[in-house]
Amino acid sequence: MNTEAAAYFSRELLGWYRENKRILPWRMNRDPYRIWVSEVMLQQTRVDTVIPYYERFMEKFPTAAALAEAPEEEVLKAWEGLGYYSRARNLQAGASEVLERHGGVVPDNKDAVSSLRGVGPYTAGAIMSIAFNRPEPAVDGNVMRVLSRFFCLEDDIAKPSTRVKIEKLAQSLIPEGAAGDFNQALMELGALVCTPKSPGCLTCPVMAHCEGRMAGKEHVLPIKTKAKPPRPETRLAALIVGSGEHAGKVLVRQRQSSGLLARMWELPHVMGPTEPFGSAARSKGRGRRKSIAAAGTEVSGESLLTADSTAAAAEGTEPPFLQTTQQQGIAPGGGGLVAGGAGTIGADADRQTAHAAHVDMLCRELFAQDGLLVRPTGWWGEAEHVFSHIVWDVQVYRAEFGYWLAEESALEKPDYGGSAVNGDSQLAAESGVSYETGNAEEGAATPPQYRWIGLEQMRELAFPNVFLRLLRDYWETADGFTD
- Judged by CB under 7 A, does residue 44 bind DNA? yes
451-470 binders of DNA (CB under 7 A) = 464-466
- Judged by CB under 7 A, does residue 282 bind DNA? no
- Judged by CB under 7 A, does residue 256 bind DNA? no
Q: How far is the CB of 305 from DNA (least distance, A)?
A: 25
- Judged by CB under 7 A, does residue 234 bind DNA? no
Binder among 62, 121, 175, 336 for DNA (CB under 7 A): 121
- Judged by CB under 7 A, does residue 11 bind DNA? no
Interacting span for DNA (CB under 7 A) from 83-91, 306-314, 325-333, 427-435: 83-91
> Which of 76, 250 has the CB closer to DNA?
76
Q: How far is the CB of 473 from DNA (least distance, A)?
A: 14
Contacts of 290 (CB under 8 A, 6+ apart): 275
- Judged by CB under 7 A, does residue 37 bind DNA? no
- Judged by CB under 7 A, does residue 341 bind DNA? no
- Judged by CB under 7 A, does residue 394 bind DNA? no
Q: Which of 19, 39, 59, 97 is catalytic?
A: 39
- Judged by CB under 7 A, does residue 254 bind DNA? no
Q: How far is the CB of 114 from DNA (least distance, A)?
A: 8
Binder among 11, 62, 63, 90 for DNA (CB under 7 A): 90
- Judged by CB under 7 A, does residue 287 bind DNA? no
Q: How far is the CB of 94 from DNA (least distance, A)?
A: 8
- Judged by CB under 7 A, does residue 353 bind DNA? no
Q: How far is the CB of 196 from DNA (least distance, A)?
A: 4
Binder among 82, 281, 368, 458 for DNA (CB under 7 A): 82
Cβ density class 361-376: b for 16+ within 10 Å, e for less: bbbbbbbbbbbbbbbb
Annotation says 39 is catalytic = yes
Binder among 119, 357, 362, 453 for DNA (CB under 7 A): 119
How many of the chain's residues bind DNA (CB under 7 A)?
Answer: 61
3-state secondary structure the chain: CCHHHHHHHHHHHHHHHHHHCCCCHHHCCCCHHHHHHHHHHCCCCCHHHHHHHHHHHHHHCCCHHHHHHCCHHHHHHHHCCCCCCHHHHHHHHHHHHHHHHHCCCCCCCHHHHHCCCCCCHHHHHHHHHHHHCCCCCCCCHHHHHHHHHHCCCCCECCCHHHHHHHHHHHHHHCCCCCHHHHHHHHHHHHHHCCCCCCCCHHHCCCHHHCHHHHCCCCCCCCECCCCCCCEEEEEEEEEEECCHHHCCCEEEEECCCCCCCCCCEECCEEECCCCCCCHHHHHCCCCHHHHHHHHHCCCCCHHHCCHHHHHHHHCCCCCCCHHHHHHHCCCECCCCCCCCCCCCHHHHHHHHHHHHHHHHHHHHHHHHHHCEEEEEEEEEEEEEEECCCEEEEEEEEEEEEEEECCHHHCCCCCCCCCCCCCCCHHHHHHHCCCCCCCCCCCCCCCCCCEEEECHHHHHCCCCCHHHHHHHHHHHHHCCCCCC
170-229 binders of DNA (CB under 7 A) = 184, 187-188, 190-191, 196-197, 224, 226-229
Q: How far is the CB of 92 from DNA (least distance, A)?
A: 13
- Judged by CB under 7 A, does residue 262 bind DNA? yes
**CB-based contact 376:219 (threshold 8 Å):** no
- Judged by CB under 7 A, does residue 471 bind DNA? no
- Judged by CB under 7 A, does residue 165 bind DNA? no
Binder among 53, 387, 403, 416 for DNA (CB under 7 A): 387
> Which of 241, 466 has the CB closer to DNA?
466
Binder among 3, 283, 344, 482 for DNA (CB under 7 A): 283
Binder among 1, 46, 111, 441 for DNA (CB under 7 A): 46
Q: How far is the CB of 153 from DNA (least distance, A)?
A: 15
126-155 binders of DNA (CB under 7 A) = 126, 140-142, 145
Q: How far is the CB of 259 from DNA (least distance, A)?
A: 3
Q: How far is the CB of 43 from DNA (least distance, A)?
A: 4
> Which of 42, 252 has the CB closer to DNA?
42
CA distances from 151 to 147, 154, 207 (A): 6, 9, 11
Question: Positive or negative, the Cα torsion across 61, 64, 70, 75?
Answer: positive
Residue 147 backbone dihedrals phi, psi, to 5 degrees:
-70, -35
Interacting span for DNA (CB under 7 A) from 104-112, 123-131, 368-376, 410-418: 123-131
Q: How far apart are the first and last CA of the chain?
A: 73
**CB-based contact 451:404 (threshold 8 Å):** no
168: left (phi over 0), alpha (psi -120 to 50) or beta: alpha
Enumerate the active-site residues: 39
Interface with DNA by CB under 7 A: which residues? 24, 38-39, 42-49, 81-86, 90, 117-124, 126, 140-142, 145, 159-161, 184, 187-188, 190-191, 196-197, 224, 226-229, 259-262, 283-284, 385-390, 464-466
